[in-house]
């Protein structure tokens, strides 16, 4: 028999996992699709797709705008979740030729064919006002701050996202955490952005912060190394912003 104190510590250690809610059936179905590429499935342990999709609140019938699909790791699952009654508009950077090619190859394999690829100049958006239920950026908000890719006015960009969403629509941003005071040059080198900066910029556009997902938090990352050096083991945050209904 375990001593009472040790037994209590064991219960506390396993409680978060035991208490974690299962993802909706349509999310679990999308993640479990046998048509997903092997390299995507291999990345699941590092990217937590079920938790990400569930946190964002993706549901059947939604209209989703996805920025920088990068070959479609999440696109395939978003397509499966929203189903034939929904639609995914994937906006790719025209300057990332290999990503555009990978996106086009991915589109040819989708069933249902409910994804449209829009290749644009970096950071540019052409979106119908008030039509989207969800605007989705995973691991790429920091890129919008890198001048090498293109000059982006983030205040204007976030206002465009605000205008594109329906009242009550969600703006999801998942990115790599940075230390306070990170400079523009350091963002370009490390490919990180401080969570507090994202919150300040997005709420300035009129959004309300509705929640934070910590399912990709990793205490072992001290935020000083380029993300590529850590091979997926970065400390990441997920932020859910909502466009007010009133």
Q: Find, among 183, 182, 165, the residue nearest to 222 by Cα.
A: 182
**CA–CA dist 220, 88 (Å, integer):** 35
Question: For residue 209, is it within any domain?
Answer: yes
- Collapsing DSSP to helix, strand or coil, 216 comes out as coil
**CA–CA dist 157, 167 (Å, integer):** 18
Give the per-residue pLDDT at 21. Answer: 79
At residue 20 the predicted structure's pLDDT band, cuts being 50, 70 and 90, is low
Residue 80: give the domain boundaries: 27-242
Question: For residue 146, is it within any domain?
Answer: yes
pTM of the model: 0.91
Question: For residue 180, is it within any domain?
Answer: yes
Count of structural domains within the chain: 1
Give the per-residue pLDDT at 173. Answer: 98
Alpha helices in the chain (DSSP H): 4-19, 25-31, 38-47, 49-56, 73-82, 97-107, 154-164, 184-190, 195-204
Give the per-residue pLDDT at 246. Answer: 78
At residue 105 the predicted structure's pLDDT band, cuts being 50, 70 and 90, is very high
At residue 17 the predicted structure's pLDDT band, cuts being 50, 70 and 90, is very low
pLDDT tens-digit map of 149-186: 999 999 999 999 999 999 999 999 999 999 999 999 99
Length of the chain: 246
Question: For residue 51, is it within any domain?
Answer: yes
Burial of 121 (0-12, 13-18, 19+ CB in 10 A): exposed
**CA–CA dist 72, 78 (Å, integer):** 9
Collect all residues with Cβ–Cβ distance below 8 Å to 71 and sequence separation of at least 6: 99, 102, 103, 106
Bridge partner residues of 118 (DSSP): 91
Collect all residues with Cβ–Cβ distance below 8 Å to 55 and sequence separation of at least 6: 172, 211, 213, 215, 238, 240
Mean residue pLDDT of the chain comes to 92
Question: For residue 45, is it within any domain?
Answer: yes
Question: For residue 52, is it within any domain?
Answer: yes
pLDDT tens-digit map of 21-68: 799 999 999 999 999 999 999 999 999 999 999 999 999 999 999 999
Question: For residue 154, is it within any domain?
Answer: yes
Question: For residue 38, is it within any domain?
Answer: yes
CATH number at residue 107: 3.40.50.150
């Amino acid at each position: 028999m375990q001593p009472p104190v040790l037994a209590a510590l064991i219960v506390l250690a396993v409680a978060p996992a035991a208490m974690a809610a299962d993802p909706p059936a349509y999310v679990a179905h999308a993640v479990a699709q046998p048509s997903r590429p092997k390299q995507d499935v291999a990345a699941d342990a590092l990217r937590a797709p079920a938790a990400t999709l569930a946190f964002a609140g993706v549901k059947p019938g939604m209209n989703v705008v996805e920025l920088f699909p990068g070959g479609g790791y999440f696109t395939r699952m978003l397509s499966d979740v929203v189903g034939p009654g929904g639609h995914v508009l994937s906006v790719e950077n025209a300057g990332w030729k290999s990503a555009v090619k990978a996106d086009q190859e991915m589109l040819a394999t989708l069933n249902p064919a409910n994804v449209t690829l829009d290749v644009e100049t970096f950071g540019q958006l052409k979106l119908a006002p008030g039509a989207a239920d969800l605007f989705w950026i995973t691991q790429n908000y920091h890129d919008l701050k890198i001048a090498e890719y293109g000059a982006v006015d983030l205040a204007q960009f976030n206002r465009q996202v605000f205008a594109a969403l329906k009242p009550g629509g969600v703006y999801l941003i998942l990115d790599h955490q940075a230390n306070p005071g990170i400079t523009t040059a350091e963002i370009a080198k490390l490919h990180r952005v401080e969570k507090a900066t994202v919150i300040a910029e997005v709420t300035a556009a009129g959004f309300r912060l509705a929640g934070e997902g910590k399912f990709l938090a990793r205490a072992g990352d001290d935020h000083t190394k380029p993300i590529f050096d850590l091979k997926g083991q970065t400390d990441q945050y997920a932020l859910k912003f909502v466009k007010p209904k009133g």
